[in-house]
Structure 1
Amino acid sequence: MQLPRDPSNAAHALVAAFPTRLAGDVQSVLAVMPEASYAPMMPFEVEVQGETVVIPSRIYNEEPDTGFERALSGTQQMILHCLYSRHHDGRVRQRHLEQITASGEPWAVPFVVQLAGEYVLEIIESIERGLPGLAEPGSTQRQLYGEFIARNPAFFARTERRVVSYWSCYYRWKYGAFGLYPGCVLLEAFRAAVVEQVGAQWPRHTPPPLAGSSETPA
């Protein structure tokens, strides 16, 4: 089903994807983005440092010319990359994702974590490459992602279930054991981050990392 074209509603939805203090920067980014073909789709709510944001899973804006992008401030460029990590084209999502994984901004984190629950294997591998700090106890990346997951347990549980579902549907033939699937490896790194953050075990909604292909999550 095609969604109605409504640029004003689309702009409002994209402003809501970031903390209110960034509203002016988001508007500056929207000013250089081509008009959306359709309204943003499948929004999800998460908490970022005590504030609820509503992030679309998909947007339908073409990418702006590079000259317009270069005219933005550093923060505004990061906002643009976050928004285009929602793009309906997986190659565009991956390209912009690779610009935000190194960000130390808490508001960029949900854009990354949500993509861990998608079906494009190359995107999952890009997240792994872009977050080397998840493997380092006490690192800034561990703290950043651990805090986000601790604040959003239901969102992370949903992401876990999506990873299992896409593995079972599309990749079980290649990775017979869930523990071998890159999505599982990434989830375990996220889990280590939140366990370090809260100082306790964290609920699991996937098969154990070493489980065989016949096992299902609890």
Structure 2
Amino acid sequence: MADDALVAAFPNQLASDVRVVLAVMPEAQIAPVSPFSVYVGDEVVAIPYRIYQDELPVEVARALTEAQQGILHCLYSPHSDGLVRQRHLEQIASSDEPWAVPFVVQLAGKYVLEILESIQRVLSDLLSKRSAQRLAYGDFIARNPGFFARTERRVVSYRSYYYRWKFLVFGTYPGCHLLELLRAAAADRTGRPWPRHTPSA
């Protein structure tokens, strides 16, 4: 069932809140697409690559608890409509909740330049070594090195395919700056330099 697939995108402790959110979301005509598995803490979750539900009316979303609104924004962040993705991403990118992090990192590996710029802008606390945000992102990357390496390679590929004419040097591409911040967070978390799968900045 589609609902079960989306419940699996979050740690077990959030299952009841996820079901509350899903109960008020419009029914999708197409099932969530291609979930990918990552660790959030010690649990494996399955994040959807795409969802297709229409957005909720604002007043319905506001009636949810703060945690449920965070879950809602996470679920809409891989939406099939890029404008919907960006709206909801901007609501969760500054979160230091570990369960929100994979939804943001997933979008760091996509081709939409405006979304990369939004992530970089909102993740301002990654610059602070003692911030909860830096700790959360560093921990996620440390637990999911293969996923992050694929994300790095996608950033390189999308820049080469779509934006080489605009960013002649990889180091000037917004995705490069974002990856540098994420690698630094992982290095802080593990106490060792983090492997690079991109050209040097």
Structure 2 length-normalised TM:
0.98
Describe the SS at the equivalent of 1:195.
helix
1:121-149 alpha-carbon deviations (Å, 9 max, x no partner) = 00000101111011122222111110110
Match of 1:49 in 2: 41
Describe the SS at the equivalent of 1:88.
coil
Describe the SS at the equivalent of 1:149.
helix
1:176 to 168, 185, 193: 168
How far apart are 1:64 and its partner, in Å?
1.1
1:124 to 91, 103, 116: 116
In the aligned structure 2, how far is the partner of 1:28 from the partner of 1:66?
16
How far apart are 1:103 and its partner, in Å?
1.4
How far apart are 1:70 and its partner, in Å?
1.2
Letter in 2 for 1:117: G
In the aligned structure 1, how far is the partner of 2:79 from the partner of 2:131?
30
CA contact (8 A) 2:186 2:194 kept: yes
Describe the SS at the equivalent of 1:91.
helix
Alignment pair present for 1:82 and 2:64 = no
1:49-106 alpha-carbon deviations (Å, 9 max, x no partner) = 1000001010010011112111111100000000000100010000000000121210
Match of 1:137 in 2: 129
Structure 2 gap segments, 5+ residues each: none
2:65 to 53, 73, 86: 73
1:166-196 alpha-carbon deviations (Å, 9 max, x no partner) = 0000000000000100000000000110111
In the aligned structure 1, how far is the partner of 2:95 from the partner of 2:181?
17
Query: Between Structure 1 and Structure 2, how many residues are aligned?
Result: 201
Structure 1 length-normalised TM:
0.91
In the aligned structure 1, how far is the partner of 2:23 from the partner of 2:47?
19
